[in-house]
Amino acid sequence: MRTFCCCLPTRLGVLILSPVTFLGSLVVAGALIWALVHESSSLTTVQKVLTGALAAEMTLFCLASLFGFIGSIFASYRAVRFYSTMMWSLWLLTLALGIVEFVFLFKDKDQYVENCTNKAENIDLDGSSINLVSSSTQATVSEDACKSAFNIVAGVGIGVWAFVLLVAAYLCVIVGRYRDQLRDERGGFRKVHASDMGETGGYYRQYPTPGYRH
């Protein structure tokens, strides 16, 4: 029996994890579909395509989570394998989307700083814009503050993204271990002593179990 966290069985991990991912993916998929239906006018074509693709991915992952739960109850290798495959697919998608998001974020850094500086220099009171910056020194301070704010937000975002990826990768490993355990329990290979095969020596060989299918 394969374990995680030192002593907990991987089957228990999948049994607990699959309902959580089912509910989470169901909520996310519902939110994305709602955005496509009710907020489509405010989305660009690229945003619509990305949102639709992610909604489809989350819907499929929701189904895979259901298979994972059923597979953990009935020890179904194929169901757990499907769940494991979808978990890694979603992990890779999260990795790719995160990289793209942060690339565009830093690409638009100057625009962000400019917008932030303009807001810091002007406060709108009763519809009239009042300029609070009267010197280049104050403008420089505002720009530096906006750059610092951008760096903090970007740093926190990257840190959270990396942490989520690490935790998700470990969860994928847990499901993968249970998948491998089921494969072994189903008789993927059997050890046969050399003496039983009419050979000399005290070693073992691995022979595929007849009739076993991956």
At 193, give phi and psi (nearest 5°). Answer: -70, 145
pLDDT at residue number 68: 94
Q: Is 22 within a domain?
A: yes
Q: Is 139 within a domain?
A: yes
Q: Is 206 within a domain?
A: no
If pLDDT is split at 50, 70 and 90, which confidence band does 213 have? very low
Q: Is 210 within a domain?
A: no
Q: Is 196 within a domain?
A: no
- Hey, which residues does 125 pair with through a beta bridge? 128
Three-state secondary structure string covering the chain: CCEECCCEEHHHHHHHHHHHHHHHHHHHHHHHHHHHHHCHHHCCHHHHHHHHHHHHHHHHHHHHHHHHHHHHHHCCHHHHHHHHHHHHHHHHHHHHHHHHHHHHHHHCHHHHHHHHHHHHHEEEECCEEEECCCCHHHHHHHHHHHHHHHHHHHHHHHHHHHHHHHHHHHHHHHHHHHHHHHHHHCCCEEEEEHHHHCCCCCCEEEEECCCCCC
Q: Is 211 within a domain?
A: no
Task: Tell me the per-residue pLDDT of 70-98, one tens digit each, with 9 for 90 and over.
Answer: 999 999 999 999 999 999 998 998 899 88
Cβ-based neighbour number of residue 118 at 10 Å: 11
Q: Take residue 4 and report the two structure tokens written for it.
A: 């995680």
- Full residue range of the structural domain in which residue 41 is found: 3-187
Q: Is 105 within a domain?
A: yes
If pLDDT is split at 50, 70 and 90, which confidence band does 109 have? confident
Task: Tell me the per-residue pLDDT of 40-75, one tens digit each, with 9 for 90 and over.
Answer: 887 778 778 878 888 888 899 999 999 999 999 999
Q: Is 199 within a domain?
A: no
Domain count, the chain: 1
If pLDDT is split at 50, 70 and 90, which confidence band does 4 have? confident
